[in-house]
Amino acid sequence: MKPKRIIDSGYPEFKYALGHQLGRVAHDGGALLGPLWEKYGDSPNQKLEVGQIFTVEPGLAVDGFGYVGLEEDVVMTTNGAEYLGEPQREIVLLKG
């Protein structure tokens, strides 16, 4: 899984999975939305099923700004993934 738009824009490929299954606790196992890297074991090969909930967490390190990250939650339906809430469509800058 390579984020083509990110790489084509001159940024390096991010080195982690795009998201994971949610359960009783945030990272309680289950399927992983990620590449077939050794560190992830068989998690990326698990079947996605209707009713499962996943995070979708794209992120990008931007020189001079820090890390830009987003997490949305989706539920698997018979028609594919549907957002659990209204997805964020604008970048919000937090200053500390």
pLDDT of the residue at 86: 94
With beta carbons less than 8 A apart as the criterion, state whether 71 and 55 touch. Answer: yes
Q: How confident is the model over 32-53, as pLDDT tens digits? A: 998 899 999 999 999 999 999 9
Look at residue 81 and tell me whether its pLDDT is greater than 60. Answer: yes
Maximal CA-CA distance, the chain = 43
Output 62 or 36, whichever has higher pLDDT.
36
pTM for the complete prediction?
A: 0.77
Q: How confident is the model over 1-40, as pLDDT tens digits? A: 456 777 888 887 778 888 998 876 666 668 999 889 999 9
With beta carbons less than 8 A apart as the criterion, state whether 69 and 57 touch. Answer: yes
